A and B are shown apart, each in its own frame.
Chain A
């Protein structure tokens, strides 16, 4: 820091800015005894930053002075009373010109009339212009004053707030540029570390003082994505390395809260994760491609973790969807940019969670949260760049991420879940299954999905086979695909869902052994197939989300479809449901459970019910079995993925849904066939789901539609990849929320039915 002896030059000495994070950006702080500028529009915290600088000096036993030309001292003290103990020791010089006298009155020299006083002696009331004379402040007079003040108190830190006001109001007759130049030179000669605030118009402009200062900190304020974004950057810092990137910040009572883990693009105001340690030295903003590669590698994992932690990932999902859309028509760089934004959102969320007190021990302790924290730490430390993105590999990766996010969708429902859950189990367990069934049926003939979930394993196997044959119903199913479960699931809820979805899940609820089971289940579905018709009728099997997919078959029972919605809703409950035991075997698994549950119920509902139940369960189990770790699941994958997909579909945002729904339906149809063979059950489920989604859409609007969209979008991709038409499944997942709601209303059963029917009938509409 600056030495006690102001005359002793110490080029290497650094002066803390009083803001720890800013010191990091400056690699230690200001170089002592030089003038620095903080430039920014009004309201970005320049004065706060300056006062922090002075209060830091007070804490180090230095003498500090602020020359105020804008804000009256009494107001400044009141506005920054959170700095109070230290602030009262800062000297303030009121250099605000008096009210102008139009009549002739003697002008007095400001140096003779005013002098600095500590903030503690500032009166509460604003200073009044004297009756008989007034002070006109000129910058030459101010220079004289500063010299006197320095001689009197030997200040070590001085703030001029603001240089702009000095130029605007105190340079009559002087050239502003020349005046500013002279003044900065004068400050350098004082050999004090000086901090000057400069009001910047919103549009950038080069001004002479900016060229003259030894360093410039720039504060930005933009409106981006309809939100106000603030960023701070070191534009120039002579004689030292520094972090040249922009970082977002918030203004808190403690001062500027700078987030070094994120950077903001100067051009687009998009958030990026910091990939270089700010303390390591000057660095350029990361290239999009590099970020992209590392991003996709971790985004999938992060998505699952976020869901597991119970965070609303809607924004992330929509960003990833945007990236997927861009991958069809844009460049890899563009996609990388969007992915980077998604990464930025993830880190932003993690940083926010980290800031807030740990909600509950469990959350904090959870492996997911630990991984996320590690991710944030890694981002802060710098992530090694990886190779440039390749569009060919990009889409599959993006889809994986989406799969990971699907659960989230389900989760969304969670909020309702509580109620819904209860309901679901009670009512409709059975009914919901039906829904599923329907969907399945519609699709590949897999209708079989109906196969009772309980039976699951065994059944499944058969079903799959069977599935191939049953392709018929698909069309109807498509509509269902829309599934648009509302995104809005509460975080908490989400978690469970996620876990279940992940399948691996240790959490696992329950489940019966889903792993193998799923296939089996599928088989049942086929059997169920008959239900398909029903489904078509009732259609609405929208059912259940993911589990639905697997279970799908069960749903066959159209009637249930109504219920199914309810069940879906219930999914959220799943957690609790976990239990669902028999009918809802699936419930056991937290997320998965839900779906399963539904299926089960459906099954229960009709003769087929049993099968459905089985099926659902089976799927869930698999998921469950899988270790909690999301990643692992892949292998089991097929089932999990499907689920996810389904979920995704559901999850998709409302907006997209509509469009996608239509697409999805088509996709679904396409997918279904192919899928059917492989994984009959899933497809059915998807189909079922679709109905629900459509239903939900009709009922709810946004969410469903979205789901549909997503599903559609995803399905396409997925379909190609995977035979199994997770798509369908996905749809189901989302719907649940709606269903749940319905259930809550009591109307659930009926409504669902209607909805389903509608869905079937109007699949296109939904789309």
Chain B
């Protein structure tokens, strides 16, 4: 059988660990705690695509795209040509929080909170639900043959877009459907996630074809970042934990 094309992440050390890169057309998971470098890893993946003149798409749920652009400015990365699907629910939420504080001074916090909760519930059903993300993706993809997609992050999708569906069965089905959709698009996808309860298996853990784990621990007053390829279907890979650094050149895996 012919070999599947490999997709470079744009981080030489990581590509080597993967045996050449990700297998084209499949969804992969990048897990790690807050500040572990998930988004940076995902952005280098997209930028590598830009360098190769590919169509790339960023689905920003965690942070507003404008903040992402600012955050990587010190790396000299130009994200301006990355098509972005702004699915960030936080923009409004943050404003509301600001309002809440103002109102708090007026002694109307409580009622406002209730209002806010009400507003969010109704607002979110329009702004961000898995369905809306799904439909927007479908629209985007029909016009552009994307070859790389970064979904940042699925944890936020679950948290912000699924409050209305407390049924775990329905939630899993929705995630399954979204991932299946991405698979059928034959687009190489990186999905970031924050590790949850280790005793609970999530739908994306089951359905993605591989997982890269980013960790960060403190040794004295220095933080040590480590990266590990937990699993990759259909590809030999380096199974050990490797240190990496975030430098002004981006992520470097040593």
Q: Do the beta carbons of B173 and A100 come within 8 Å of each other?
A: yes
Question: Is residue B102 within 8 Å, beta carbon to beta carbon, of the partner chain?
Answer: no
* Most chain A beta-carbon contacts within 10 A, residue among B26, B170, B183: B183
Q: Which residues 52-89 of A have a CB within 8 angstroms of B?
A: 70-72, 75, 77-81, 84
Q: How far is the CA of A127 from the CA of B185 in the complex (A)?
A: 10
Is A746 part of the contact surface with B, judged by Cβ < 8 Å? no
A42-B206, A78-B4, A126-B183 known; A172-B201 Cβ under 8 A: no
Contact A75 B177 (CB under 8 A): no
Q: Which residues of A contact B177 (CB under 8 A)?
A: 97, 99-100
Cβ-defined partner of B169 (8 Å) among A71, A164, A171? A171
B21 CB to closest chain A CB, in angstroms? 15
Say whether A162 faces chain B, with CB atoms less than 8 Å apart.
Answer: yes
Q: Which of B177-208 contact A (CB under 8 A)?
A: 177, 180-181, 183-184, 186, 198-201, 203, 205-207
* Bound Cα distance A604, B173 (Å): 84
Q: Which of B1, B181, B183, B200 contacts A72 (CB 8 A)?
A: B183
Contact yes or no, B206 A199, CB < 8 A: yes
The distance in angstroms between the C-alpha atoms of A555 and B199, with both chains bound, is 64
Would you call A43 and B230 a contact (CB within 8 A)? yes
Q: Kindly identify, within residues 185 to 237 of chain B, every residue whose CB is under 8 Å from any CB belonging to chain A.
A: 186, 198-201, 203, 205-207, 209-211, 230-235
Flag whether B62 is at the interface (Cβ < 8 A). no
Contact mask for chain B residues 53-69; partner A; CB cutoff 8 A; 1 contact, 0 none: 00000000000000000
Q: Tell me if A356 is interfacial: C-beta within 8 Å of chain B.
A: no
Flag whether B172 is at the interface (Cβ < 8 A). yes
Q: In the complex the two chains form, is B232's CB within 8 Å of A43's CB? A: yes
Give the shortest distance, in Å, between A532 (CB) and chain B (any CB).
Answer: 43
- Residues from chain B with Cβ under 8 Å of A169 in the complex: 172-173, 176, 203
Docked complex Cα distance between A199 and B4 (Å):
26
Chain B interface residue bracket vs A? 35 or more
Q: A313: CB under 8 A from chain B? A: no
* Residues of chain B from 69 to 90 with CB closer than 8 A to chain A in the complex: none
A477 to B148, CA, bound (A): 66
- Choose among B26, B135, B180, B209 the residue with the greatest number of A CB atoms under 10 Å from its CB: B180
Check B26 against A75 for contact (C-beta < 8 Å). yes
B26, A201: Cβ atoms closer than 8 Å: no
Q: A104 at interface (Cβ–Cβ under 8 A)?
A: no
Q: Are B231 and A42 in contact (CB under 8 A)?
A: yes
Give Cα A128–Cα B234 distance, bound, in whole angstroms: 21
List the A side residues contacting B172 at CB < 8 Å. Answer: 168-169
Contact A168 B206 (CB under 8 A): yes
**Residues A98 and B180 in contact, CB atoms below 8 Å apart:** yes
Contact status A165-B232, CB under 8 Å: no
Task: Enumerate chain A residues within 8 angstroms of B180, measured Cβ to Cβ.
Answer: 96-99, 129
Contact A102 to B135, CB < 8 A, known contacts A75-B233, A97-B173, A168-B203: yes
Contacts of B233 in A (CB 8 A): 43, 47, 71, 75, 79
The answer to whether A227 touches B199 (Cβ under 8 A) is no
Within 8 A of B (CB), among A173-214: 173, 199-203, 205
A162 CB, min distance to chain B CBs, angstroms: 7
B131 interface residue (CB < 8 Å to A): yes
**Whole-angstrom CA separation of A43 from B210 in the bound complex:** 8
B152 CB–A CB distance under 8 Å: no
Knowing A70-B206, A227-B240 are in contact, say whether A102-B198 is a contact too (CB < 8 A).
Answer: no
A635 within 8 A of B: no
The CA-CA distance from A657 to B169 in the complex, in Å, is: 58
Q: Which of A72, A97, A126, A128 contacts B176 (CB 8 A)?
A: A97
Contact with B along A34-50 (1 / 0, CB 8 A): 00000000111001000
B199 near A129 (CB under 8 angstroms)? no
Apart from A42-B230, A71-B233, 14 more pairs, CB < 8 Å:
A42-B231, A43-B210, A43-B232, A71-B209, A72-B183, A96-B180, A126-B186, A129-B180, A129-B181, A162-B206, A168-B169, A169-B203, A172-B173, A203-B198
Pairs A–B under 8 Å by Cβ, sample size 14: A42-B205, A44-B231, A47-B233, A79-B233, A84-B1, A100-B134, A126-B25, A164-B201, A165-B206, A171-B169, A199-B201, A200-B201, A226-B241, A227-B240
Binding site for A on B (CB under 8 A): 1, 4, 25-26, 131, 134-135, 169-170, 172-174, 176-177, 180-181, 183-184, 186, 198-201, 203, 205-207, 209-211, 230-235, 239-241
